[in-house]
């Protein structure tokens, strides 16, 4: 795969994380009276996508009864994905503001010395 495609995907992922939380803040600030309708609708949409994955898992499973026990977990997945977006927001913000990964010791010293820092 070409490097320019990787670069674009990385930027798009960063923009999506910040866009997700900007949209959430906009909903809370500007659409407070409609939150009771919008949040359950978004939860149901995300749950629909999770149920599609669950049906695929169940369809191809060698032990369907065991995998049926995962259904309660599927109901929590939209909240878990929102939590992961919060973790992504924290990690990206920390990296953008403080360049936290430049202090990681698992990167060889010659690579850390050659990396541009702002």
More reliable by pLDDT, 105 or 95: 95
Write the Ramachandran bin of 18: left for phi over 0, alpha for psi from -120 to 50, otherwise beta: alpha
In this predicted structure, the answer to whether residue 16 has a pLDDT above a threshold of 70 is yes
Confidence at residue 5, expressed as pLDDT on a 0 to 100 scale: 59
The mean pLDDT of the chain is 88
Encoding tokens for residue 27? 């909903």
The domain total for the chain is: 1
How many other C-beta atoms can be found within 10 angstroms of the C-beta atom of residue 51?
16
Confidence at residue 39, expressed as pLDDT on a 0 to 100 scale: 96
C-alpha distances in angstroms, 61 versus 48, 49, 51, 65, 97?
20, 18, 15, 9, 45
Domain that holds residue 61: 3-114
In this predicted structure, the answer to whether residue 105 has a pLDDT above a threshold of 90 is no
């Amino acid at each position: 795969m070409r490097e320019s495609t990787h670069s674009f995907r990385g930027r798009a992922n960063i923009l999506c994380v910040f866009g997700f939380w900007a949209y959430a803040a906009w909903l809370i600030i500007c659409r407070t009276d409609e939150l009771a309708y919008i949040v359950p609708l978004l939860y149901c949409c995300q749950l629909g996508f999770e149920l599609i994955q669950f049906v695929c898992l169940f369809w191809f499973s060698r032990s369907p009864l065991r995998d049926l026990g995962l259904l309660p977990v599927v109901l929590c997945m939209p909240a878990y994905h929102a939590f992961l977006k919060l973790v992504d927001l924290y990690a990206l913000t920390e990296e953008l503001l403080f360049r936290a990964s430049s202090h990681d010791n698992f990167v060889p010293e010659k690579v850390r010395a050659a990396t541009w820092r702002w």
